[in-house]
């Protein structure tokens, strides 16, 4: 083990555990890259089949500095929600994506992103279409390859008038990033010029769907994650 993290509060610990749990649900051998600087920890993961990077930012109660790749499962097991702590596991040899991260700056908001309800509806409609087309397949074409082809066709479509592929929205929904914001008091009006809670951002060839619960980053259509330049770890 390489050290301890003191999170800002039990809520941050619970959110971190939930994010890690979803990643492990998709891949029991999932790895995450951790980057901490000052009072924040960024956790990067790649859920299988979505071809995106998922990012969860966590507030820290004590400053920390680290940059390494670890087992998501081991980190999840170490999270103590009541104490708001986590133990950083020993580093592992990361998968290729762990050396490939979105740029840290230069992000500009892109117009045209539908609201969260419309995005959730788009994902639900795509899932329903996939199921209907799968059920309509004749027995001799009900193969993994044909189902994968249908899935690629559906999830490669872009959302509304943006370049954001539906697979990125699907990933955000599956990881809990598009869930409604719960509040017990009326939300104040957003000041003019303040960033939208859910927004589409662009930097170079990257797109990022940012929400209050995390972000999904992907290359623009035609630029898969496997072709990126590697940032030194």
Q: How far is CA 73 from CA 21, 118, 138, in A?
A: 8, 33, 40
pTM summary value:
0.86
Q: Check: CB of residue 108 under 8 Å from CB of residue 203.
A: yes
Stated as kind and residue range, the H or E segment containing 133 is helix 116-135
DSSP 155-167: HTSBPTTSS-BHH
Residue 59's pLDDT is 97
Rounded to a whole number of angstroms, the distance between the first and last alpha carbons of the chain is 19
Specify the length of the chain in residues.
233
Rounded to 10°, the helix 116-135/166-174 angle is 100
Residue ranges and CATH numbers for the domains of the chain are 3-99 (3.10.150.10), 108-181+193-227 (no CATH)
What does the pLDDT read at residue 184?
Answer: 42
Check if the beta carbon of residue 232 is closer than 8 Å to that of residue 100.
no
pLDDT (tens, 9 = 90+) of the chain, 233 residues, equals 568 999 999 999 999 999 999 999 999 999 999 999 889 999 999 998 888 999 999 999 999 999 999 999 999 999 999 999 999 999 999 899 998 899 989 999 999 999 999 999 999 999 999 999 999 999 999 999 999 999 999 999 999 899 999 999 999 999 999 988 664 444 444 444 445 689 999 999 999 999 999 999 998 855 544 333 333 33
Q: What angle do CA 10, 214, 163 make, to 5 degrees?
A: 175
Rounded to an integer, what distance in angstroms lies between the CA atom of residue 76 and that of residue 59? 16
From start to end of the chain, where are the E strands? Answer: 3-6, 31-45, 53-71, 85-88, 108-110, 199-203, 206-211, 214-219
The encoded tokens of residue 213 equal 């619960």
| 3 vs 32: CA distance, rounded Å | 16
Pairing status of strand 31-45 against strand 3-6 = unpaired
Sign of CA dihedral 113, 117, 120, 121: negative
Tell me 62's DSSP state. E
DSSP 3-state of 18: helix
Tokens of 193: 């010029």
pLDDT recorded at residue 196: 67
What are φ and ψ of residue 218, in 5° steps?
-155, 160
Task: Give which of 18, 7, 9 is closest to 175, Cα–Cα.
Answer: 18
């Amino acid at each position: 083990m390489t050290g301890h993290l003191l999170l800002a509060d039990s809520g941050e610990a619970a959110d971190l555990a939930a994010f890690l749990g979803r990643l492990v649900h998709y891949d029991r051998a999932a790895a995450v890259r951790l980057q901490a600087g000052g009072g924040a920890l960024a956790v990067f993961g790649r859920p299988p089949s979505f071809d995106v990077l998922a990012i969860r930012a966590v507030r820290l109660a004590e400053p920390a500095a680290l940059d390494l790749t670890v087992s998501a499962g081991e980190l999840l097991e170490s999270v103590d929600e009541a104490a708001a702590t986590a133990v950083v596991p020993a580093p592992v040899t990361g998968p290729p994506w762990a050396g490939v991260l979105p740029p840290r700056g230069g992000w500009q908001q892109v117009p045209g992103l539908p609201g969260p309800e419309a995005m959730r509806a788009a994902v639900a409609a795509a899932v329903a279409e996939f199921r209907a087309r799968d059920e309509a397949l004749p027995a001799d074409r009900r193969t993994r390859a044909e189902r994968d082809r249908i899935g690629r066709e559906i999830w490669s479509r872009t959302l509304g008038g943006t370049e954001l592929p539906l697979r990125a929205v699907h990933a955000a929904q599956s990881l809990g990033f598009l869930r409604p914001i719960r509040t017990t008091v009326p939300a104040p009006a957003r000041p003019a010029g303040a960033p939208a809670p859910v927004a589409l951002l662009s930097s170079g060839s990257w797109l990022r769907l940012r929400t209050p619960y995390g972000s999904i980053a992907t290359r623009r259509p035609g630029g898969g994650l496997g072709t990126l330049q590697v940032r030194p770890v």
